[in-house]
């Protein structure tokens, strides 16, 4: 085989000793995903795929197509500089209050009726805000974001909304999640709810 064309799966641990050139098309696509881990995933993917080139005796080259060559995930991946990326990413996350400097709960709501799903998400957000008001201005402050339509707003004819809870306090995240859970029985039975503590993905 002279040319291998594939998705991200070609990066996953395959030992291909005769690969001398790797090309990444539209590397920016992963950066545009609305998730605070988008840079981390892009960096990880580029480092992995770059590692496919030059594994044998012949040196390899890596070409990356991007509209954002100055983005830190791409710059550090192509060096590669893991520590540099970590320092940059941790600084950004500290400033914005994202993990590992906070805890996150993602509440996913879906229903066949769009308005019903939106009202359900608003009801759960209101329950969480009741807890948030008790901790305003303290180290236990709980931030409630949403409700808003999910990035993938409709799946299998079900409309999807989400609410995010964010706090640096383990106790606040627990109380917020419990308040949301206690409010679920007030929703119509057609509305489905999932409470994801420390979610791996935000889609």
**pLDDT tens digits, one per residue of 59-75:** 788 898 999 999 999 99
Cα separation, 6 vs 65, in Å, equals 16
Residue 163: CB atoms within 10 A of its CB come to 28
CA 125 to chain centre: 20
Average pLDDT, the chain: 89
pTM of the model: 0.79
Contact 141, 135 (CB under 8 A): yes
**pLDDT tens digits, one per residue of 19-37:** 888 888 888 888 888 889 9
Cα separation, 79 vs 48, in Å, equals 13
* DSSP string covering 3-66: -----GGGGSS---TT--EEEES-GGGGGGSSSTTHHHHHHHHHHHHHTTTT-SSS--EEEE--
Mean pLDDT of 174-183: 94
């Amino acid at each position: 085989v002279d040319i291998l064309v594939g998705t991200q799966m070609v990066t996953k641990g395959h030992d291909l000793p005769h690969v001398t050139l790797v090309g990444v098309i539209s590397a920016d696509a992963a950066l545009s995903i609305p998730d605070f881990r988008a840079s981390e995933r892009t960096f990880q993917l580029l480092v992995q795929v770059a590692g496919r080139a030059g594994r044998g005796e012949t040196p390899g080259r890596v070409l990356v197509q991007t509209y954002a060559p100055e983005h830190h995930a791409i710059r550090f991946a192509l060096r590669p500089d893991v520590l540099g990326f970590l320092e940059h990413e941790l600084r950004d996350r500290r400033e914005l209050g994202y993990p590992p400097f906070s805890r996150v709960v993602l509440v996913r709501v879906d229903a066949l009726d769009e308005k019903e799903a939106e009202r359900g998400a608003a009801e759960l957000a209101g329950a969480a805000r009741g807890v948030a008001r008790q901790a305003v201005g303290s180290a236990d402050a709980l931030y409630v974001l949403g409700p808003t339509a999910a990035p993938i707003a409709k799946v299998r004819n079900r409309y999807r909304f989400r609410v995010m809870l964010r706090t640096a306090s383990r106790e606040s995240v627990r109380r917020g999640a419990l308040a949301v859970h206690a409010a679920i029985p007030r929703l119509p039975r057609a509305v489905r709810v999932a409470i994801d503590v420390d979610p791996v993905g935000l889609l």
